[in-house]
Amino acid sequence: MRIALGQLESGTDVGANLAAMDRFAEAAARDGARLIAFPEYATYEKKIVDASYPEAAEPVDGPVCRALAAIARRHGLALVAGTVETSGDRDRAYNTLVAFGRGGELLASYRKIHLFDAQGYGESRFISPGPSTAPVVFALDGVRFGLMTCYDLRFPELARELADAGAEVLLVCSSWVPGEHKTGQWLALNAARAIENGVYVAAPCQAPPISVGHSLLASPMGVIEADLGLEPGVRTVEISHAALASVREQFPTPEQRRLVPPRPSVS
C-alpha cells in the first residue's frame, strides 16, 4: 500500500493551508497514494499556542473539515490532518486529528491527550486534553492505522495500546518544537515506537522554523525509510504487509510480554 507524507509550513491563513494540502494531495494521488497524512495543526498554526486557537476552532462538521473532506473526495484518497476543534470551554479548544475516507466520509477523529506543557510551553492554557484515552484506530484497504499527536510520542503506553488494538501503522502527526537534541529525539522516538511494537510509524511534521521538519517513515525494524528533511513537500512511501509479518515472526513480543497492565472491569 502506498501512502504519502505531507510536510507543511502551516500558518494562520487557513485558506492558504488548505490550498497547500490540496496541492500535496493532488501530487500524492498522481503517485498512487491511497492515503495522505498531514501534521498536527495543519489548518492553523503559530509558533506559540495562544488565545487565537480557541477563536479559530470549529466543530468537526464545520467549514474547515468540510474543506478537508472535499480534498479527499476530489483526489480520491484518504486524508488525515490536524485541526483545531471547538470544545465545551470557550477559552480552550481540542487539538484534533481527523481522518476522512476517499469519499469524504469521516473515518475517525482523535483529540490529543498529552499536551505539550514542557520547555516553557503551556499548550494546556488554550487546549483541552481529549477526554477519552481509548486508542483510535481505523481501517483502509485492509491496513489498520492508529492516531497519535506529537507529544504523545514520548508516552510509549499509547503506542502500545494502539498496537494492541490492531494498528499496523502509527500516524504520528506532529509539530515538534525545535531545541537542543530535539531532532535527534524525534528520529529516535519514532524508530523506538516502531521497533517495540512491530509497526510502521508514519510521522508527518511541520517544517521549520516552527518545527523541526524531518517527516519520516520508520519500518517495523526501526529503519528510517524516508525523511523529508527541512523543506515543505510531499513524499509517497510503501507499506508492506510482508515486511510487517516478517518482523512479527522474528520478534513475537506481543505473545512474550509478561508485564501487562490490568484492564479495568466494565460493569
Residues with catalytic function? 40, 112, 150
**Contacts with 189 (C-beta within 8 Å, 6 or more apart), sequence order:** 153, 154
* Burial readout 208-243 (b: 16 or more C-beta within 10 A, e: otherwise): bebbbbbbbbbbbebebeebbeeebbbbbbebeeeb
Give the span between the Cα atoms of 6 and 75, in whole angstroms. 15
H helical segments located in 147-252: 156-164, 182-197, 241-250
DSSP sequence for 173-196: EB-----TTHHHHHHHHHHHHHHH
Give which of 55, 83, 52 is closest to 67, Cα–Cα: 83
Query: Is residue 170 within 8 Å of residue 146, measured between CB atoms?
Result: yes
- Copy the grid coordinates of residue 30: 498522481
* Residue 9 CB neighbour total at 10 angstroms: 19
Q: How far apart are CA 149 and CA 95, in angstroms?
A: 9
- Please compute Rg for the chain using Cα positions: 17
